[in-house]
Amino acid sequence: MDYPLYFALFLGLVSSLHCLGMCAGIIGTLTMSLKPAIRSNRRQLLTYTLAYSVGRVSSYMLAGFLVGGVGQTLLDWIFPDAGLGPLRLVAGLVVIAMGLHFAGWLPRFASLERLGTPLWRRLDPLARRLLPVGTLPQAALFGALWGWLPCMPVYSTLLLALSTAEAWRAGLFMLSFGAGTLPAVVAAGMLAGWMTRLRRVPHINLIIGMSLVLLGIVGLWSAAGPMHPTEPLHLGH
């Protein structure tokens, strides 16, 4: 199963809902780092917040582009005759794991974030040098560094992007994911309150999690497509 771009958009939305506390805290810190004259002007504040997000989503796209290239190399070198089956199998398992995590049944899946800790240790000092933010390019650059902050939903979505096995498709997939995070991050004031109320809806995390598990199972079934009975099996050749 090739997960479509709107699925990445959905992942971005539910991930920002799931991680609302951290995302709102970061954007709040960035907002307070701006000059008082900028904070008091709603139009300027929105412009700077958008600049943060443009930089952040650009980093997601770059990471997707790089991961997609890796997926293409894996297919060419390791699985030259297997098609996308192995990568789709990984993608299905990742979606199921995300669903179980969102439902609260697989908390250790968050340890995936540790993969990015060494890189973030190098980037964090650079990001701190940009504070307080005073210009739009500075805000965009800070956002670009922020995009590499260790984050389980981002890394999980990158594993899904890997299954596209094409750099440009993986980049678009991560762009869609980043777009899905915009409501919570850009409009952290008005929409964050609405999303906090949504998060309190009974069983909302369970519903989201089980939806992802179902989609992951469909992905696993699709990954077994080459072994479908309607296709000839070349046994003994």
Q: Examine the pLDDT at 105 and tell me if it is beyond 60.
A: yes
Torsion of CA 5, 200, 214, 87, to 10 degrees: 50
Looking at residue 62, its pLDDT comes to 97
Looking at residue 22, its pLDDT comes to 61
Q: Examine the pLDDT at 235 and tell me if it is beyond 50.
A: no
- The answer to whether 182 and 48 are in contact (CB under 8 A) is no
* Arithmetic mean of pLDDT over the chain: 80
Q: How far apart are the first and last CA of the chain?
A: 28
Sign of the CA dihedral 69, 73, 74, 76? positive
Average pLDDT for residues 102-122, to the nearest whole number? 88
User: pTM of this prediction?
Assistant: 0.81
Average pLDDT for residues 215-233, to the nearest whole number? 61
SS3 per-residue string spanning 134-182: CCHHHHHHHHHHHCCCCCHHHHHHHHHHHCCCCHHHHHHHHHHHHHHHH
Q: Examine the pLDDT at 211 and tell me if it is beyond 50.
A: yes
Looking at residue 189, its pLDDT comes to 45
Gap between the Cα atoms of 10 and 16, Å rounded: 10
Looking at residue 172, its pLDDT comes to 96
